[in-house]
Amino acid sequence: MLYTSCKSTEFCQLRAFVVVAKTSFLTLAAKQLYTTPPAVGSHIKHLRKNYRYLCLSDQVWK
């Protein structure tokens, strides 16, 4: 099972990034993380804001 409770916000953001990168789909990543696509998108958005070099293809967001 992929779900583990987040101890920190940054851990949740990184975990969301890894799952989106592996699945290439925001909705599939959200299902695997037991959350909603907007929540996953928010985690990625915060990571991209804090780490400028972190980038996923815009195709993932469509």
Quick: pLDDT tens for 26-54: 999 999 999 999 999 999 888 888 877 65
CA-nearest of 54, 51, 52, 49 to 18 is 54
Q: At what angle do helices 37-50 and 9-23 cross, to 10 degrees?
A: 110
Residue 62's pLDDT is: 46
- Give the Å distances, CA to CA, from 35 to 13, 14, 26, 45: 12, 15, 11, 16
Q: What's the CATH fold of domain 9-61?
A: Arc Repressor Mutant, subunit A (1.10.10)
- Give the Å distances, CA to CA, from 25 to 22, 29, 40: 8, 6, 11
Report pTM: 0.72
Residue 50's pLDDT is: 81
Q: Is the pLDDT of residue 7 over 70?
A: no
